[in-house]
Amino acid sequence: MTMESIGLAPSTLVFIVLGLTLAAFMWGRFRYDLVALAALLGSVMLGLVPSDEAFKGFGHPAVITVAAVLVISRGFERSGVVDIIANQVLKVGERLLLQLLVLVGTVVVLSGVMNNVGALALLLPVAMRLAREHNTSPSLLLMPLAFGSLLGGLTTLIGTPPNIIIATYRGNITGENFGMFSFTPVGVAVALAGLVFIVLVGWRLTPKRSGQASTEEMFDTANYLVELKVSEESKANGLTLQQLHDELEETIPVLAVVREDNRRAGYSFHGVLREGDILLLEAGPDELKLLEDKVGLSAIAEPEEDEKDSDEADSENGASQPSDERQPVDTEGLQLIEAVVRNDSMMVNRSVRQLRLNQQFGLHLVAVARDGGRLKQRLRDIRFQTGDVLLLQGSENEIADSLATLGCLPLANRELHLGQPRKLALSIGIFALAIIAMLFDLLPAAVAMSSAALISLLIGVLPLREGYQAIDGPVIVLLAAMLPVGEALETSGGAEIIADALLRFGVEWPIIVSLAGLFMLSMLLSNVVNNAAAALLMAPIAASLASGFDVSLDPFLMIVAVSASCAFLTPIGHQSNTLVLGPGGYQFGDYWKLGLPLSLVVMVVAIPAILWAWPL
């Protein structure tokens, strides 16, 4: 199939491909890396991208740099650099404004030197812990924290993928990339303005979700914990817990087995059930009926008030109390932990049964919260979504590794741990050397960052397995696939057509109006597609617009770099926004209430700052 056989101009075909791609991004039925790969292959089949250049994006310097920065960021986490900072943040006190200032200010700084999603992931548990210790709604802290991570990414080359993409694009056009701190004057001005707005005004625009500050309130676990007794006639008598699950054809989490007043957590009980055993588990009415019908387990009823009075009277008369009467089993120490499902989690769109959580990872799923409320449907029927908050039970020694493998972020129960001082110093030293190499043009950014990542792995700052886990596969595929598609937009003349339309609109207005229009177009695009994809698509349009006005390319590229990272309007525009959706109890429409005025603040500050730092 060729363009000639279809009879359409290359630019028209590019617009069709991009239109379908954007529609698929917004629909969200398929993950963005699959959509990007489909767009690439479609462009190759239509002749828009030469077949021998289809996969050159996987070796593109921007893609390599992003992958290396992700590894270095994980090294910072592993060495304890960020945990030292987080440990100090916890001492901030109970004043909300001070909490916001310290939390958002810290994530702004961290996001400048590491991946912004990684910076948010490290401070998210700290924010949850602050909220619970001071009885604050997390919704007042988490959205400002997520937006702060986006603002911090603007300050350096490695802070966010759009900066790396724009720097590399400039190198392809002019022969000279933007440097490590070329973004700093504008980025710092915008980040400071955004920080002041969020701390003084913005947090008041976030919804205050009540009842989200504690695991017990979010999941209301105690209301669903029941005790079931194994009788002589029970089919469960003589079965292991795994055999019990097989009989039920459903994994109903057994939190503990009580035998002769000795309690063992469900995940560590490997024997067979015996008559008289008490099973403590989480179940609703449907599950209770299933347990009674299939394996003969029935709940131990609490005595009614009049029965208690009667028993007390019998006791006073010398009668013995029924031997079956028991106090409710205490749930303390059952190693319950909250975790949020990340964008890159292997759990997304999969169920408990498909993941084999218990058999493969030693985890019991106790409950799932979504959009701030507990899901009432059967656990086996739930397909996990990004931002879901899970209540899990597992071995204290293994749960951290299991969550890391699954792609989940532990929340308030995450214990801060300090790395080894030697590795901490090495991690900082390696990063500093890479920055120096970039500042003095000793090495290109991709080579310097890759070298730092390699040395970190070789000297043991980060285990090799974690290094590979740190690389966000979907983002890498997205970048590598969309780079040739973005080039096709330019080579087909599509970018020039869009730029000409903007030129005709802005010919009677000052250039600053066209810059504002470019900013808003790029910003709106970044709220419905990945910010890296927005930068890839808008860069050639910005270059054509600068050429049309016959002015410097740099301010137009800087406009795209800043606006592509301003995904403040929706939870799907950036991974940071999605990551706080569940823990904060937010709804889709909550984001624009703070995001829209913050976007306007950023635009008002960014455009004059760009024109000052990068004159036309």
Q: Is the pLDDT of residue 211 over 80?
A: no
Sequence-distant (6+) residues with CB within 8 A of 142 are 124, 127, 128, 580, 583, 584, 586
pLDDT in tens, 366-377: 778 876 667 767
Q: What average pLDDT does this structure show over 567-578?
A: 83
Which of 186, 184, 183, 206 lies closest to 104 in space, CA to CA? Answer: 206
Q: Is the pLDDT of residue 587 over 60?
A: yes
At 458 the pLDDT is 92
Classify strands 254-259 and 262-265 as parallel, antiparallel or unpaired: antiparallel
Give the bridge partners for 296, in sequence order: none
The side-by-side arrangement of strands in the sheet containing 336-341 is: 373-374, 363-370, 389-394, 336-341, 408-410
Q: Is the pLDDT of residue 396 over 70?
A: no
- Residue 306 CA to residue 543 CA, distance in Å, equals 82
Structure tokens at 88: 């100090």
- Distance from the Cα of residue 48 to its chain's centroid: 34
Confidence of residue 420 (pLDDT cuts 50, 70, 90): low
Task: Say if CB 257 and CB 273 are below 8 A apart.
Answer: yes
Q: Is the pLDDT of residue 417 over 60?
A: no
Q: Is the pLDDT of residue 433 over 70?
A: yes
- Residue 131 CA to residue 311 CA, distance in Å, equals 45
Nearest 5°: phi and psi at 597?
Answer: -65, -35
What size, in residues, is the chain?
616
Lowest-confidence segment of 149-153, 346-350, 508-512, 601-605 by average pLDDT: 508-512
Q: What's the whole-model pTM score? A: 0.73
Which of 340, 348, 478 lies closest to 24 in space, CA to CA? Answer: 478
Q: Which residue has the tokens 């009989």?
A: 247
Amino acid sitting at position 531 = N
- Distance from the Cα of residue 286 to its chain's centroid: 33
Q: What average pLDDT does this structure show over 383-388?
A: 86
Task: Say if CB 546 and CB 170 are below 8 A apart.
Answer: no
pLDDT in tens, 234-284: 888 888 888 887 887 776 778 788 887 777 877 778 888 888 888 887 766
**For residue 229, what is the enclosing H or E element?**
strand 225-229
Sequence-distant (6+) residues with CB within 8 A of 410 are 125, 337, 338, 339, 399, 400, 403
User: Mean pLDDT, the chain, as a whole number?
Assistant: 81
Lowest-confidence segment of 104-118, 190-204, 394-408, 450-464 by average pLDDT: 394-408
Confidence of residue 365 (pLDDT cuts 50, 70, 90): confident
Give the bridge partners for 337, in sequence order: 392
- Residue 5 CA to residue 80 CA, distance in Å, equals 59
At 608 the pLDDT is 96
Between these two residues, 324 and 297, which has the higher pLDDT value? 297
At 261 the pLDDT is 72
Q: Is the pLDDT of residue 304 over 60?
A: no
- Residue 586 CA to residue 582 CA, distance in Å, equals 7
- Counting Cβ atoms within 10 Å, is residue 523 exposed (0-12), middle (13-18) or buried (19+)? buried
What is the DSSP secondary structure assignment for residue 48, as one 8-state letter?
S
- Residue 253 CA to residue 325 CA, distance in Å, equals 24
Number of Cβ atoms within 10 Å of the Cβ of 360: 11
C-alpha to C-alpha distances, 616 to 188, 205, 547, 585, 609, nearest whole angstrom: 21, 36, 12, 45, 12
CB-hemisphere CA count at 13 Å for 366?
30
Computed from CA positions of residues 94, 73, 437, 460, in that sequence, does the dihedral angle turn out positive or negative? positive
- Residue 531 CA to residue 522 CA, distance in Å, equals 9
Confidence of residue 2 (pLDDT cuts 50, 70, 90): low
Structure tokens at 255: 């939190």
Lowest-confidence segment of 160-169, 302-311, 607-616 by average pLDDT: 302-311
| Maximum Cα–Cα distance across the chain | 103
Give the bridge partners for 226, in sequence order: 281
Structure tokens at 461: 């700052």
Measure the CA angle with vertex 501, ends 6 and 572; round to 5°.
80
Lowest-confidence segment of 17-31, 139-153, 388-402, 407-421 by average pLDDT: 407-421
Which of 541, 531, 425 lies closest to 482 in space, CA to CA? Answer: 531
pLDDT in tens, 324-347: 444 444 444 456 788 888 877 889
Give the bridge partners for 339, in sequence order: 390, 410
At 601 the pLDDT is 96
Q: Which domains does the chain have, with CATH numbers?
A: 61-213+419-472 (no CATH), 217-312 (3.30.70.1450), 336-410 (3.30.70.1450)
Task: Say if CB 552 and CB 180 are below 8 A apart.
Answer: no
Structure tokens at 303: 């005595």
Task: Say if CB 318 and CB 216 are below 8 A apart.
Answer: no
pLDDT in tens, 147-159: 999 999 999 998 8
- Residue 505 CA to residue 517 CA, distance in Å, equals 10
Q: Is the pLDDT of residue 430 over 60?
A: yes
Give the bridge partners for 613, in sequence order: none
Q: What average pLDDT does this structure show over 100-112?
A: 92
Task: Say if CB 543 and CB 503 are below 8 A apart.
Answer: no
pLDDT in tens, 450-503: 999 999 999 888 888 888 878 878 888 888 888 888 888 888 888 888 888 877
Alpha helices in 153-213 (DSSP H): 161-174, 184-200
Between these two residues, 560 and 207, which has the higher pLDDT value? 560
